[in-house]
Structure 1
């Protein structure tokens, strides 16, 4: 427990996607405070609940019903608690249970296991949500409560680092040759699995060791990248990112009057971080203005004002007393959306009760990178479709 108060390594496993690509960024970030968001705190609370459930299931003797209930009730007093956390953490636990029950023998299970990574990263360590070891296989599970971005397990540096730590911890006790990694994101119904051999994992470890040696000293080259920069604390002031985006936005040279689709594809890839960088830069410049500093050419002003009730119930009572009809003037009868009803009832119960009344309409076409796993769509008519229409 105590997820929120844990120490974080300079070269953390969760930030590996950044410092493995842009090695000097880890040291650069040290100048900036490590802030947290409500979403991050909510995720921490969900992780604590998930840990309790997994510990109660696999180690019932040591962590029985009374201890479990007491700890859960304590979490429920948190201002960020939401009842839906119960359902999503149940889905995570169910995946672990099914995995364990499908094995030929009971696995060794480590929960919230702190893993030593110092063989590859100076003073490095990480904490895996769950590790199972059985026979020649080590299985690392990573529970993610976020709902913004699908995270895949294939070649995922964070989970691979956990796997390295797990292998190093248990290699003397088990003849580990196979590595299984799973990322579970129940809020977006996403589970990603990937496996590799011990040799592939150790090769990755050697690459990490080389990059970590540079990163711990703040050496190497800056490599601004949409994914690497997303959560970097230095992203607004980083000169390398600034120069990179300014060049992409303005260094276009002499070009023909019309661009081709090939050029459009290349431009979209090159410019994808420019808008995000502008937003980050604006937020930082605004914070500087509000702190009393001058940003040449810019100033902070009060935005468009909004109005709200200080006491809506009292206000409505007074309006009703003047003759205003509450049914016609003050309230609007409006059903909840499908997603809101499902959230309130529960996914499984919702499907069983009203699944027959639901149709899934295709989403609005959107442009994504070619690496996206979704199937491509087109307005072109295929020969098969044309033949059907003729008949």
Structure 2
């Protein structure tokens, strides 16, 4: 059985920003999504490869989720660990490497613990490498509270045994082509723990403090019905649903800041209300449960084929290629690139507005007639 800390390292950004959330989340179901399962399998496969790399006896995990992409990405992770280890050995002949190490930081966070994917101790430096298999959100190591908690937990174990002066924390996120590293001194980490972490962790453990809505709430299991989310979007009511041509540019930008989350929230609220109705027979004053639209299907394709042929209908088949992704999985990346690489193209994506903080390169569309003073 896997233990779960109330104040987990992986959700640290959330409970440090919104201390009451962890206690609220205890009343809601934690869903195991396909993405989360995939991440668990990838971590198991990566663990196997690193253990094998350092000469430990281990057994390769088996899962239907393991495909060529996962094999490649976990190979890249193991290769990165090996390269780092070889570099470290040039100045520290006998570094200590630990895989899936339990890290206890309960002296700063009530009942706080976590698991470090890979730790390397080399003289005055402690290295912590964390595999992030997700491809949805780019994760930065700089001032990353999860990594800093891992660092504090590791220092609790090794600081008295080794003369550690600094901790190098690395996020390895292969599907985002992201390797992010941050270095902090032991004094910096302990100062953060004493000046900020302890107080907020105690508030979070008690369920006290203020919930401030923002991106850090997106993975909360009670985000759908979080009042702070409604309050955040309520400020749009001052526009009184004005037509777009009545809004100023700055007002339009303010609305744009809310659009993506409003659309997502609307879908989540409907899904949540439907689930509650189905599971508890809840009756709403203005809504009811009905059978949704569905698409007709054949109950037995083979019998349909027999009936059609028996009655002279032969033109009943359509041949189409399998998807590009399925074709790549069928052939393997190398064979696919050799045979079909020159037949693959990536069309331009549809232009879309995103916040300035988005790391994608800005798309500049030039209007030639305007640039040269011409008329439309």
Per-residue CA deviations over 1:43-95 (Å, capped at 9, x if unaligned) read 222222221221121133xx1xxx52xx53xx24xx55545433332222122
Q: Distance in 1 between matches of 2:256 and 2:127?
A: 38
**Deviation of the 1:322 alpha carbon:** 4.0
Q: Distance in 1 between matches of 2:262 and 2:11?
A: 22
Does the 8 Å contact 1:285/1:295 carry over to 2? no
Number of the residue aligned with 2:238: 251
Partner of residue 232 from structure 1, selected from 198, 220, 242 = 220
Q: Distance in 2 between matches of 1:323 and 1:181?
A: 70
Does the 8 Å contact 1:316/1:330 carry over to 2? no
What SS does the aligned partner of 2:223 have? coil
Q: Structure 1 residues 156, 349: closer, same or farther in 2, change over 3 A?
A: farther
Number of the residue aligned with 1:46: 42
Q: Distance in 2 between matches of 1:100 and 1:310?
A: 58
Number of the residue aligned with 1:99: 84
Does the 8 Å contact 1:27/1:216 carry over to 2? yes
| Pairing 1:374–2:363 present | no
Q: Distance in 2 between matches of 1:86 and 1:347?
A: 12
| Pairing 1:55–2:28 present | no
Number of the residue aligned with 1:152: 140
| Pairing 1:90–2:75 present | yes
Number of equivalences: 363
| Pairing 1:29–2:14 present | no
Partner of residue 295 from structure 1, selected from 284, 289, 307 = 284
What SS does the aligned partner of 1:120 have? coil
**Deviation of the 1:177 alpha carbon:** 2.6
Partner of residue 108 from structure 1, selected from 71, 96, 110 = 96
Number of the residue aligned with 2:106: 118
What SS does the aligned partner of 2:182 have? strand
**Deviation of the 1:10 alpha carbon:** 0.5
Q: Distance in 2 between matches of 1:82 and 1:371?
A: 33
CA RMSD of aligned residues (A): 2.9
Q: Structure 1 residues 324, 107: closer, same or farther in 2, change over 3 A?
A: farther
Does the 8 Å contact 1:235/1:280 carry over to 2? no
Q: Please show how residues 1-391 of structure 1 align to structure 2 within 5 Å.
A: 5-60=1-56, 63=57, 67-68=58-59, 71-72=60-61, 75-76=62-63, 80-82=65-67, 84-103=69-88, 104=90, 105-186=93-174, 188-198=175-185, 199-206=187-194, 207-225=196-214, 227-245=215-233, 247-252=234-239, 258-290=246-278, 291-325=280-314, 329-334=316-321, 336-337=323-324, 339-347=325-333, 350-351=336-337, 362-380=348-366
**Deviation of the 1:236 alpha carbon:** 2.5
Q: Bigger shift: 142-151 or 368-377?
A: 142-151
Q: Structure 1 residues 96, 334: closer, same or farther in 2, change over 3 A?
A: same
TM-score w.r.t. length of structure 2: 0.85
What SS does the aligned partner of 2:210 have? coil
Q: Distance in 2 between matches of 1:93 and 1:352?
A: 26
**Deviation of the 1:22 alpha carbon:** 0.7
Q: Distance in 2 between matches of 1:319 and 1:54?
A: 57
What SS does the aligned partner of 2:17 have? coil
Q: Structure 1 residues 357, 284: closer, same or farther in 2, change over 3 A?
A: closer
Q: Distance in 2 between matches of 1:312 and 1:365?
A: 42
Per-residue CA deviations over 1:167-226 (Å, capped at 9, x if unaligned) read 33222233323322222233x24223121221433333232212101101111111111x
**Deviation of the 1:358 alpha carbon:** 5.2
In structure 2, list runs of 5 or more residues that go unmatched. Answer: none
Per-residue CA deviations over 1:269-293 (Å, capped at 9, x if unaligned) read 2454322222222122112222211
TM-score w.r.t. length of structure 1: 0.82
Q: Structure 1 residues 10, 273: closer, same or farther in 2, change over 3 A?
A: same
**Deviation of the 1:303 alpha carbon:** 0.9
